[in-house]
Amino acid sequence: MNRFGATILDAEGLTLSAAEKTFFRQANPYGFILFARNIDTPDQVRGLCAEMRACVGRDAPITIDQEGGRVQRLRAPIWTEWMPPLDFVAAAGARAAEAMYLRYRLIAAELNDLGIDSNCAPMVDIAGPQTHDFLRNRCYGTSPETVATLGRAAAEGMLAGGVLPVLKHIPGHGRASLDSHYDLPTVDAPHDALSAHDFAPFKALNDLPMGMTAHLVYSSLDDRPATLSPKVMQVIREEIGFDNLIMTDDISMKALQGSLTDLSRAALEAGCDVILHCNGSLDARREVAEAAGPMSFAAQTRALRALNARIAPDELDIPAARAQLQTLLHGT
């Protein structure tokens, strides 16, 4: 098999332009990601997914950010509007794990219906006093044990629905007091504290098929952002034990400084398997694809292993699942 391009890329609109189709055929990205600008009607999304896969001539994974709360690309009135995860967990109380499974099983059903077979969740960053507002209510809890349990429930719900989960943000974003979309956060906690607390949910979920890096500096590990750090990647692979596919968070985020070429190469040299690039021009996407090149043989092995984790969805009585979830959240 020809090696996949070491990229996950997006599209500008509701359909692919002729130039995008030509580019995707040449670049052969491992997969694609959708944003709100790519979403209109169910039939339109199905058509766009089909166009993307036709360009590369295979059943490429197509992912999306469908966490709930502020971060969800599929919105009402066509799709379910979900409350933020932290509020959802509070509403479910002692039965939060069961509710979280149903939440993500229903999310998976909506995604699978559209041809989307991956979701950038669970997010197992741990909320703390300093967690920036951009992240806090996206978290599942404030303890490693709670977050790991609920992350597992979310992942199992997606996998049962034929959707590949993407574990994020490895090795933990909860201590960051800045928004990495705009600034580079630095976490000064010692390594042993990070290992015992922040890394713990990722260790517990290190069998999930895909993960996404965090754009922040852990000063006790390296002075480079985790996405670009061979030292942090060694911690992820060896200490956390995550040996499946690792994608970068979006390398166009302002936490990372440098050209797209330099950032792409540095992330791959650090040990990431695939470059996620979003919200750029066609020329920017070309630059990333050229810099990334084909996947390494090790990355391709992990990429194929992730694809093999896709299964046909189990049967789901959607009205019954929704009713059960309402009972868990409201007791009626």
Tokens linked to 298: 């090790």
Helix (H, G, I), strand (E, B) or coil at 218: strand
Q: Which member of 181, 183, 191, 243 is catalytic?
A: 181
Which listed residue (10, 65, 222, 249) is catalytic? Answer: 249
Whole-number Å distance between alpha carbons of 47 and 50: 5
330 carries an active-site annotation: no
φ, ψ of residue 273 to 5 degrees: the values are -95, -30
Q: Are 82 and 119 in contact (CB under 8 A)?
A: no
Q: Which of 16, 21, 26, 15 is nearest to 7 (CA)?
A: 26
Active site residue 273: no
Task: Give me the sign of the Cα torsion angle 107, 111, 112, 113.
Answer: positive
**Distance from C-alpha of 212 to C-alpha of 186, rounded to nearest angstrom:** 18
**Amino acid at residue number 8:** I
Catalytic residues: 181, 249
